[in-house]
Amino acid sequence: MKKTKYEFGIYDKYGNLNGVYFIGMLFFLFFLSFLILLIFKNIIKLHSINIEIILNGLIIDFKSMIQIYKLNHFLGLLSSFKTYIVINILVVIYYIYKTFLNKFEQRKLANYGLENYYLKKKLKDGYVYNVVPGEVMEYDKFLKQFNNMIQRNKMGSCEIKRVDKVGVKVRFKNSTPSIEDLNKLNPKDFMKKDLLFLGFEGGFKEKRIPKYIKFSQLPHSFALLGTSGGGKSNTLNHILFSVFYNFHNIQECNFIDFKGGVESQPYQNLEDKLKTGKIFTYTDNRLELYKKLVRLDIINKSRQKLLKKYNKKKMNSNYIYVFFDEIAEILDYKASDKTDKIIQDKSKEIIESLFRTSRSSGFKLFYATQIFTSVGSGISNSIKNNTIFRILHKTESDEGIHSVIDKEPLEERGINVKEFGVGEMIIKNESEYFNIRTLYIPDNFTKFIKINSSKPNEKFLKEMNEVILQTIKTYSFEKSIYSMEECLRHI
């Protein structure tokens, strides 16, 4: 018969108790704690630590115990040393409690196929698990099985990270705030200078934490992804709330809307009302879009020349924002004739170029799309690879999810994109991940928005215009569609 291996002495890695060892430990602890109490009593009595005297004191105590037992039997012994016995019983009870707590925790791990791990340390907001000595670290298995345990035991969302080579730290977070948690909050109260307000995430201690990112640290390309109705439009409004609040750092905002102009109309109304000279909207005229893209391409190339002239690496102000609503409507378009095809090809070429080259020249490119894969969206690998900041809303497609965000970070955080509610999203910014919920921003928010603008930098604009004129003269125009002369009249 195979002998049971008890990895933890008192129980094995499956949480089965070693009865003989357990009973032996109870007697051992009782005797040891009783002995320690007697030693402590003698030290207090003598006011000094003298081994010989302490041993003599213990001998006297044991002789006294034997004498009491002979005269009054066991009840007399209990009565004479009741204080010590009560303390010893409490020590034993505490040991039983800790043993069964750890045993049940190990049994729970084993029930979920995680018998190779044990609870090393309990944290205020989580646990540290180590690999059982002699067993193998199976991190992927831990992620999968532990997430099952979280869901079945309703333990809330968590963050899981490796610790050294044999450990895993699990920290439990408050879940992403619900709509009800946020419905009385006003986005105006969370606007901050030079910061983009992203929304709220659940904290390890706080129920909700506002999440910000510095405008100076924003990458130059952003993707808003998810199925129709998943919250992309609200997220765009949420972002624009901060953009308009920090309008002093912006040279212009361009809104390209090929869904009939419905989404971009509020921004056109805002420009008509405030006459900032910084807001431009383009709808579904592809020829006009091409001309506007040529303008942006010329500005990009001119800014690069200016950077080179002053030996600078990037623009730190006067940003140019470009928002593509449903970029697939632009990129995945089938031309109807030769001229239409030239316009389409040139438009795609410029968009690709902006994503590749406009980082240093102060462009911020946002686009919304339902899917992120190249097939069906028109989004090339070049655009995808240059999109560092990705916001993913609810979607049912595993392929779509994992084309945006790696599978492992989602599993580490127990996040299920398919179950996202309204306004909930996950943000990937390079190697960072945030699970947040936006505030509700009505489509007519521009009626109440306050734009913090500033006087334009006349010196910069004058020099920029001079460089733009030089760039136009050397720019490669498709003359049959858009000539240099026409560009000079409109730029």
Q: Are residues 63 and 139 in the same domain?
A: no
Q: How sure is the predictor about 323, in pLDDT bands with cuts at 50, 70 and 90?
A: very high
State how many domains the chain has.
Answer: 3
Q: Are residues 97 and 139 in the same domain?
A: no
Once rounded to an integer, what is the mean pLDDT over residues 166-187? 86
Structural domain contains residue 233: yes
Q: Are residues 137 and 91 in the same domain?
A: no
Q: Are residues 12 and 131 in the same domain?
A: no
Whether the CB-CB separation of 257 and 281 falls below 8 Å is answered with yes
Question: Is the model more confident about 347 or about 260?
Answer: 347
What integer pLDDT is reported at residue 375 of this predicted model? 63
Using one digit for the tens of pLDDT, what is the confidence trace for 392-428? Answer: 888 887 777 877 777 777 766 667 888 888 889 988 8
Q: Are residues 337 and 237 in the same domain?
A: yes
Q: How sure is the predictor about 467, in pLDDT bands with cuts at 50, 70 and 90?
A: very high
Question: Is the model more confident about 65 or about 24?
Answer: 24
- CATH code where residue 164 lies: 3.90.1070
Structural domain contains residue 69: yes
What integer pLDDT is reported at residue 197 of this predicted model? 94
Structural domain contains residue 483: yes
Which of 7-11, 37-41, 275-279, 321-325 is most confident?
Answer: 321-325
Residue 1: pLDDT over 60:
no
| Domain end marker among 93, 111, 129 | 111
Using one digit for the tens of pLDDT, what is the confidence trace for 291-315? Answer: 999 999 999 999 999 999 999 988 8
Expressed as residue numbers, the domain containing 145 is: 114-172
Whether the CB-CB separation of 378 and 367 falls below 8 Å is answered with no
What integer pLDDT is reported at residue 300 of this predicted model? 95
What integer pLDDT is reported at residue 200 of this predicted model? 94
Q: Are residues 76 and 158 in the same domain?
A: no
Q: Are residues 75 and 197 in the same domain?
A: no
Residue 374: pLDDT over 70:
no
Q: Are residues 345 and 304 in the same domain?
A: yes
CB neighbour list of residue 321: distance below 8 Å, 6 or more residues apart: 243, 250, 252, 253, 254, 363, 364, 366
Taking the C-alpha atoms of residue 396 and residue 375, their distance in angstroms, rounded to an integer, is 17
Using one digit for the tens of pLDDT, what is the confidence trace for 182-241? Answer: 988 988 899 999 999 999 988 877 888 899 999 888 888 999 888 877 788 889 889 998
Structural domain contains residue 177: no
Q: Are residues 35 and 103 in the same domain?
A: yes
Whether the CB-CB separation of 218 and 389 falls below 8 Å is answered with yes
| Domain end marker among 147, 172, 197 | 172
Structural domain contains residue 193: yes
Q: Are residues 92 and 159 in the same domain?
A: no
What integer pLDDT is reported at residue 53 of this predicted model? 67
SS (H, E, C) 124-154: CCEEEEEECCCCCCCHHHHHHHHHHHHHHHC
Q: Are residues 18 and 118 in the same domain?
A: no
Q: Are residues 133 and 232 in the same domain?
A: no
The pair of three-digit structure tokens given for residue 260, joined into one six-digit string: 């009939």
Structural domain contains residue 149: yes
Using one digit for the tens of pLDDT, what is the confidence trace for 101-127? Answer: 889 989 988 888 888 888 888 887 788
**If you ran DSSP here, which 8-state letter would residue 247 be given?**
G
Structural domain contains residue 237: yes
Residue 353: pLDDT over 90:
yes
What integer pLDDT is reported at residue 487 of this predicted model? 86
Q: What is the mean pLDDT of the chain?
A: 84
Which of 3-7, 355-359, 486-490 is most confident?
Answer: 355-359
- CATH code where residue 469 lies: 3.40.50.300
Structural domain contains residue 178: no
What integer pLDDT is reported at residue 269 of this predicted model? 86
SS (H, E, C) the chain: CCCCCCCCCCECCCCCECHHHHHHHHHHHHHHHHHHHHHHHHHHHHCCCCHHHHHHHHHHHHHHHHHHHHHHHHHHHHHHCHHHHHHHHHHHHHHHHHHHHHHHHHHHHHHCCCCCEEEEEECCCEEEEEECCCCCCCHHHHHHHHHHHHHHHCCCCEEEEEECCCEEEEEECCCCCCHHHHCCCCHHHHCECCEEEEEEECCCCCCCEEEEEEHHHCCCEEEEECCCCCCHHHHHHHHHHHHHHCHHHEEEEEEEECCCCCCCHHHHHHHHHHCCCCEEEECCCHHHHHHHHHHHHHHHHHHHHHHHHCCCCCCCCCEEEEEEECCHHHHCCCCCCHHHHHHHHHHHHHHHHHHHHCCCCCEEEEEEECCCCCCCCCCCHHHHHCCCEEEECCCCCHHHHHHHCCHHHHHHCCCCHHHCCCCEEEEEECCEEEEEECCCCCHHHHHCCCCCCCCCCHHHHHHHHHHHHHHHHHCCCCCCCCCHHHHHHHC
Using one digit for the tens of pLDDT, what is the confidence trace for 55-85? Answer: 777 677 777 777 766 767 666 666 677 777 8
| Domain end marker among 59, 78, 111 | 111
The pair of three-digit structure tokens given for residue 107, joined into one six-digit string: 């049994």
